[in-house]
Amino acid sequence: MVLKAFFPTCCASADSGLLVGRWVPEQSCAVVLAVAHFPFIPIQVKQLLAQVRQDSQVGVAVLGTWCHRRQEPEESLGHFLEGLGAVFPHEPWLRLCRERGGTFWRCEATHRQAPCPPGEDQVMLIFYDQRQVLLSQLHPPAVPPYRHVGADPTSPGGLAAVFHTVARCEALFRSDRFDEGPVRLSHWQSEGVEASILAELAKRASGPICLLLAGLLSLVSAVGACRVFKLWPLSFLGSKLSTCEQLRHRLEHLRLIFSTKKAENPAQLMRKANTVASVLLDVALGLLLLSWLHGRSRIVHLADTLIPVADHVAEELQHLLQWLMGAPAGLKMNRALDQVLGRFFLYHIHLWISYIHLMSPFVEHILWHVGLSACLGLTVALSLLSDIIALLTFHIYCFYVYGARLYRLKIHGLSSLWRLFRGKKWNALRRRVDSCSYDLDQLFIGTLLFTILLFLLPTTALYYLVFTLLRLLVVAVQGLIHLLVDLINSLPLYSLGLRLCRPYRLAAGVKFRVLEHEAGRPLRLLMQINPLPYCRVVHTYRLPSCGCHPQHSWGSLCRRLFSGELIYPWRQRSDKQD
């Protein structure tokens, strides 16, 4: 049987002593965590291990002995190490030895209760970086159900056991060589415990600050939950405006950031860190936008440009309607219906131009407040921009609704009359098509109405097609803005930065490099961490966003357009109905 011993690289040059770690019987492997050096009192070592077991809930024990033959006489040291097996009984008992030159290693595993024949148990020595394994978080791939996790150290079960053991036994690494404790240990922090005075001061000061800000956020939430804001006009605007949705989303983020509740697992801690990075980036980009808008009187230039652009769009719409009222593309339209629809839409454009000129004195103040909202974050400014686009293109939306309703009415009329010709009718109670017998008068009236609707359909369909294309253009612009907002809200910036700067922190697995493979000597491997791919980092740690993406496929969208159903913006709520 092959026994695997995971040995930290930081202990390769340590003095002789005891191997402290955990034995994993399911994987037939020993995870060495530290080396306890001579001299020591056995009862003090047992007390230290009992304290570590209580803190970490991991079965830490003395696994064997470590001998680094630099100055110790071989005979006296060998007899002394053989006697330690009776003081610290463990099965199997490991004996790792490194010669003075460092080129020859000897690894043995003995069983005292059931002695094995010589050469039956072979020890595979695997070196690992203890600091990287401690700070990393393993993301193993899904194991197929037909694959049994056995004694392979590269299997997800074996890797999880090693990573879990090192991560849970962090209490063992709190002491270094400067501590005057009863037991002297060698591990990755033997040269000195990593600490920072600024970090400790920040930890102590963050508690009261987070408590105060959490109280203020609770007060803001209580004000927002008042019954006044649930009345019809305010509740309707709050459910339709993207700015209100984004503000509610950011309020949830701030609650998570300033919550005094401690993260229960690394996933919650990573989500909190990603949220902090997302909010900081959002505010930084918003401040950059604010400084750009208020520099060199750009808001005044934008206000002076906005009204002429709105007038130009209105004039182009007038030209388009006049083109439709003639013979568009050589098509022969129903002149009476064409003139009625064209004048109806031209009147709406005239009302819209009057509204724009009425609002022109306040455009600069509106843009100034829009720029000021960027201090809350770039996403708030973009959401406000989306709402402004929706308000500025409200006349296009009205045209689209008028055309869609008229087109849908004719399509439904034609389909009902087509069922009349076939002797069918729609059963509204059972929601199905049933057979029905019609008399001669009904068939005559049906034929007359079908002919009228069929000859009026091209004129209505042309207006519907034109205004649908305009509406889709506006929806596409709003969709791009909402995609940018959702990207800023959901992008795991902290995880991506961690993957870029410290790739070992996000581990997808490990790889093994052969250090020594000679006959008569134990196989020595070096375990190296494979970082998580960037696409998997984004998929694993992506934050939830407030955007409601379309629930319809391209085929369903085409069917809705052909049948005349209304197309809502990119960000839509599930309770919206036609």
**Structural domain includes residue 332:** yes
Residue 537 CA to residue 483 CA, distance in Å, equals: 19
Q: Is pLDDT above 50 for 21? A: yes
The per-residue pLDDT for 301 is 85
Report the Cα–Cα distance between both ends of the chain, in Å, rounded.
70
| 479 and 557 Cβ atoms separated by less than 8 Å | no
The 3-state secondary structure of 533-560, one letter per residue? CHHHHHHHHCCCCCCCCCCCCHHHHHHH
Give the amino acid at 533: P
Our CA angle for 527, 528, 534, nearest 5°, is: 145
pLDDT tier, 555 (very low <50, low <70, confident <90, very high otherwise): confident
pLDDT at 137: 85
Q: What share of the chain is helix, strand, coil (3-state, %, to 5)?
A: 60, 15, 30
Give the mean model confidence (pLDDT) for residues 16-28.
85
Q: What's the confidence (pLDDT) of residue 370?
A: 78
217: pLDDT strictly greater than 60: yes
Q: How many CA atoms are closer than 13 Å to the CA of 400, on its beta-carbon side?
A: 20
Cα–Cα distance measured from residue 327 to residue 333, given in angstroms and rounded to the nearest whole number: 7
> Which CATH number goes with the domain that contains 106?
3.40.140
pLDDT-based confidence at residue 563 (cuts at 50, 70, 90):
confident
DSSP state of 229: G
- The pLDDT tens digits of the residues spanning 81-113 come to 666 666 777 778 888 888 765 566 778 877 766
Q: Which amino acid, residue 442?
A: Q
User: Which is nearest to 281 in space by CA: 494, 495, 481?
Assistant: 494
163 within a domain of the structure (yes/no): yes
Q: What is the domain range of residue 60?
A: 3-186
- Residues 154, 510 contacting (CB under 8 angstroms): yes
Residue 495: pLDDT band (50, 70, 90) is very high
List Cβ<8 Å contacts ≥24 apart for 118-121: 120/1, 121/1, 121/2, 121/3, 121/92
| Angle at which helices 378-392 and 394-421 cross, to 10° | 60
Of 186, 212, 231, the residue at which a domain comes to its end is 186
Least confident of 253-257, 282-286, 520-524: 520-524
| CB-based burial label for 147 (10 Å; 0-12, 13-18, 19+) | exposed
Name the nearest CA neighbour of 496 among 536, 439, 544. Answer: 536
- Tell me, yes or no, whether 304 and 447 share the same domain: yes
Q: Do 327 and 455 belong together in one domain?
A: yes
Strand, coil or helix: 18: strand
Report the distance separating Cα 244 and Cα 279, nearest Å. Answer: 17
pTM (2 decimals)? 0.76
> Domain for residue 508, yes or no?
no
Give the C-alpha separation, 548 to 542, whole Å: 16
Residue 80: pLDDT band (50, 70, 90) is low
Q: Do 176 and 311 belong to one domain?
A: no
Task: Examine the pLDDT at 455 and tell me if it is beyond 50.
Answer: yes
For residue 214, is pLDDT > 80? no
Amino acid letter, 351: L
Mean pLDDT of 205-220: 69
* Residue 139 φ/ψ, nearest 5 degrees: -120, 80
Residue 62, strand partner residues? 20
Number of helices (H), then strands (E), in the chain: 17, 13
Q: Quote the CA–CA distance of 528 and 509 in Å, as a whole number.
A: 9
In a domain, 316, yes or no: yes
One-letter identity of residue 222: A
pLDDT tens-digit profile of 164-207?
888 888 777 776 655 666 778 888 775 554 555 665 666 666 66
What DSSP state is assigned to residue 577?
Answer: -
CA-wise closest residue to 158 among 149, 166, 167? 149
Q: Is residue 255 part of a domain?
A: no
Asked if 46 contacts 37 with a C-beta cutoff of 8 angstroms, the reply is no
Please tell me whether residues 173 and 306 are part of one structural domain: no
pLDDT at 101: 59
List phi, psi (to 5°) of 444. -65, -50
pLDDT at 146: 42
Instruction: Indicate the residue among 147, 165, 186 that finishes a domain.
Output: 186
Instruction: Name the band, by pLDDT with cuts 50, 70 and 90, for residue 576.
Output: very low
CB 265 within 8 A of CB 259: no
Is 221 a domain residue?
Answer: no
Asked whether the beta carbons of 372 and 279 are under 8 A apart, the reply is no
Nearest partner of 65 among 100, 30, 116, judged by Cα? 30
Q: What are 123's strand-pairing partners? A: 3
Instruction: Give residues with Cβ within 8 angstroms of 519, minimum separation 6.
Output: none
Residue 134 scores a pLDDT above 80: yes
Q: Which of 320-324, 329-333, 352-356, 454-458 has the lowest mean pLDDT?
A: 329-333
Mean pLDDT for the chain overall: 79
Strand 29-37 to 2-8 pairing: parallel
Q: Same domain, yes or no, for 168 and 302?
A: no
pLDDT at position 176: 61
Which of 141, 158, 186 terminates a domain? The answer is 186
Task: List the Cα angle 464/333/311 in 5-degree steps.
Answer: 55
Which residue is associated with the tokens 């005292």? 112
- Per-position DSSP letters for 170-182, written without gaps between them: GGGGS--TTS--S
Q: Do the domain assignments include residue 445?
A: yes
Classify the phi-psi angles of 173: left when phi > 0, otherwise alpha if psi is within -120 to 50, otherwise beta: alpha
**Omega before 92 within 30 of 0, i.e. cis:** yes
- Tens of pLDDT, residues 27-39: 888 888 888 887 7
Least confident of 28-32, 139-143, 341-345: 139-143
| Total residue length of the chain | 578
Cα 48 versus chain centre, distance: 41
Residues 182 and 297 in one domain: no
* CA dihedral over 280, 282, 284, 287, signed as positive or negative: negative
CA atoms in the 13 A half-sphere facing the CB of 209? 8
Q: For 115-196, where are the alpha helices, taking DSSP H only? A: 130-135, 156-168
Torsion angle in degrees (nearest 10) through CA of 132, 134, 137, 143 = 100
- Per the structure, the count of domains in the chain is 2
Own/partner long-range contacts of 340-344 (Cβ < 8 Å, ≥24 apart): 341/459, 341/460, 341/463, 344/402
3-class secondary-structure state, position 6: strand
Split at pLDDT 50, 70, 90, the class of 148 is very low
- Give me the residues paired with residue 524 across strands: 125, 516
Q: Reduce the DSSP state of residue 566 to 3 states and report it.
A: coil
Which distant-in-sequence residues (6+ apart) come within 8 Å of 213 by Cβ?
Answer: 254, 258
More confident of the two residues 333 and 343: 343
349 domain-assigned = yes
> What confidence tens digit (pLDDT) does each residue in 281-318 have?
999 999 998 888 887 778 888 888 888 888 888 888 88
More confident residue, 149 or 349: 349
